[in-house]
Amino acid sequence: MTTTDLPPLRITHPRLHFAPRNNWMNDPNGLVFHDGLYHLYFQYNPQGVSHANMSWGHATSTDLIRWTEHDPAILWDEEAQIFSGSVVVDHGNTSGFGTAEEPALVALYTAAAAGRQAQALAYSTDGGYVWTKYQGNPVLDRGTSDFRDPKVFWFDDGRDAYWVMVAVEAVDRQVLFHRSDDLKTWTFLSSYGPAGPVGGVWECPDMFPLAVDGDDSDVRWVLLISLNPGGIAGGSGTHYIVGDFDGKIFRPTVPHPTSGRELLRERSQSREELEAYGWLDFGPDCYAGVTFDGLSRDERTLIAWMDNWEYAGSLPGDSDEYRSAMTLPRRLSLTRDQSGVLRLRQEPAIELEPAESVDLGSMTGSTVLTADPASATRIRFAATFGDAHNIELRIESASDDDLVVIRQDRMSGRIAIDRPGAEMPSGFASVPSMRLEEPGEIEWDLWIDQLNERVSSLELFAQSGERVLTALIPAASPRSYSVAVVGGALRRARATVAVVRY
């Protein structure tokens, strides 16, 4: 076990995840890397801990671990609330807000007012701290009530180059593509959907290219769509589609079934049907994830909101100081699995001090990995099933009510997390799970962080990051972590534990 010491932090805040110093927070917005800084903007209420007065909060980091929070970036006013959107660096000064030498940062966001949602623009000429709302807003208005969440990127295929906006008509479950030469005037290109998971409204889209297994001759586009409810674990969730984009139309590699209006009205899909789709995360607490502009293709990095609209704002331990936290930053890549299916792969984009590996050999019974009051812990465990039926990682405390069990079953090839629902709000108690392609192998990369006095976060990366499950769990201190083998023995078991202390 290794220990990392970071600067002192209030016990009410997480160690490895961003959380605001006070007030309400939800979706990440405007992620951009510029001049050596990661900028994280986010949905924020500058006046309280409820979901209201939506504005953009702002924080920066050089390493995606240590964050400096700044004054709110774009504030709501009597004309509109500032909903989700994105930020780009206008290197070519196409907008005219900056210069070629000092490019402006340009934000496209949803202005929500009087039952109507349209896309508006703001710009910054000081590196992203002070923002000016464009006098010509809105820059794209369809006259509808649920047109939102613009994600903008620069498209260049060597023949033509322009800005592309990906946004949603949320209730219609449609992704709409528009183009612009100056970020101010937009024309319609095409639409995608409704298709695939449609058990809730579609929100917070993102789209980006990735090379398959690092092969630059085989580049595909990944479309992310968050939906609420209707997620794979219940409530909020995010699915992905792999395909091709020619600058106008997105075409899935494997088309999803087109959903008729009858299915949209039903707002319900079976677990078996949902399992057929690609999911960013199989847990209940990873929503509205988007990626940073300004990074290279092989550095594509995502952050999501670590909560669920089923119980957001009502978890025990949420104080009058702040609500919610973000997920770990995740580096994305695209790989082809054993059956030839293209899968999105994720790995934490941060590192802790190298931890010493412990060889557990052919393991039977139960082994304590660590017992520590630390606020954040990373456990990596690898083994091969011998004749064992299943393996459990147990997160225990003085109270049995707080016991959390992660279980991988050899026969079903499924990992499940049993998180207790005692003293939790309605919708929290559940057993989220994910099915593995290689059920005989155990490969866990587990990150646990304490968010407040009553709630911790758990992020489990399995199968080399092709399967990820994020869930909030009860907090307990001190707590112990033990591995129990049921019904036989494991082979080649190894474990590493890294601890981050306050």
Show which residues are catalytic: 27
Q: Is residue 348 within 8 Å of 301, Cβ to Cβ?
A: no
- State how far the Cα of 452 lies from the Cα of 437, in Å rounded to an integer: 35
Backbone φ and ψ for 429, nearest 5 degrees, come out as -65, 120
3 state SS of 465: helix
- State how far the Cα of 377 lies from the Cα of 14, in Å rounded to an integer: 11
Q: Is residue 300 within 8 Å of 291, Cβ to Cβ?
A: yes
Burial of 162 (0-12, 13-18, 19+ CB in 10 A): middle
Backbone φ and ψ for 60, nearest 5 degrees, come out as -130, 155
Q: Which residue has the tokens 């594509």?
A: 300
- State how far the Cα of 380 lies from the Cα of 59, in Å rounded to an integer: 30
- State how far the Cα of 213 lies from the Cα of 210, in Å rounded to an integer: 9
- State how far the Cα of 199 lies from the Cα of 353, in Å rounded to an integer: 42
State CA 307 to chain mean position distance: 10
Which spans in 21-158 are helix H?
none
Q: Is residue 472 within 8 Å of 287, Cβ to Cβ?
A: no
Q: Is residue 262 within 8 Å of 255, Cβ to Cβ?
A: no
- State how far the Cα of 322 lies from the Cα of 115, in Å rounded to an integer: 28
From residue 410, alpha-carbon distances to 271, 415, 449 in Å are 21, 9, 28
Which DSSP symbol is given to 357?
P
- State how far the Cα of 117 lies from the Cα of 140, in Å rounded to an integer: 10
Exposure letters 405-420 (e unless 16+ CB within 10 A, then b): bbbbbbeeeebbbbbb
